[in-house]
Amino acid sequence: MEGDHRKRPEPGLIRALRPPAVAGSALSESRFTAMAWLVAGDRVIASLEVAAARRDRRRGLLGRDEFDGALLLERARWVHTVGMRFPIDVAHCDAEMRVLRVTTMAPHRVGVPVWRARSVIEAAAGAFDRWGVAPGLELEIRRGGAGAANR
């Protein structure tokens, strides 16, 4: 712009100022506000990070090299793996947390929306087979301490 004398930061400076959560460091686990457990029946399946905020849902697992546990994206009907570094399992769940559809997505793909879904659970590829997550399974999210359960 003519007459605009604002100086743009150098690209290297932008990378240096980027928070570690984006770079996939150990601090990336703390960017989600809630930790919980993913439960099926009386069996704890995995630790669960909850991405309730829009910003956290948008970012999902981006910027990570690997992931243990699962990530719950509330108020989501579809996901993408554009920019992902590893394949993921995706479970679309209805309002009652019943699994509607399970897929494995390779990096750099765009998923198909599941219109009845109200949330999506992501995990590293192969995790859902190990955990027995399949369509029809009713899941439960246990948040907080001492047996507090939410669906």
Please state the domain extents for the chain.
Answer: 11-146
pLDDT at 61: 56
Pair 105, 133: CB distance under 8 Å: no
Question: What distance in Å separates the CA atoms of residue 56 and residue 113, rounded to the nearest whole number?
Answer: 19
For residue 38 the two structure tokens come to 């993913």
> Would you state the pLDDT for residue 62?
56
What pTM was computed for the model?
Answer: 0.70
pLDDT tens per residue, range 32-42: 557 789 999 99
Judged against a pLDDT cut of 90, whether residue 102 lies above it is answered with: yes
In the CATH scheme, what architecture does the domain 11-146 have?
Sandwich (2.60)
- Whether the CB-CB separation of 49 and 120 falls below 8 Å is answered with no
Question: Tokens 């399992």 identify what position?
Answer: 89
**Region 57-63 average pLDDT:** 56
- What is the C-alpha to C-alpha distance for residues 143 and 150, in angstroms, rounded to an integer? 7
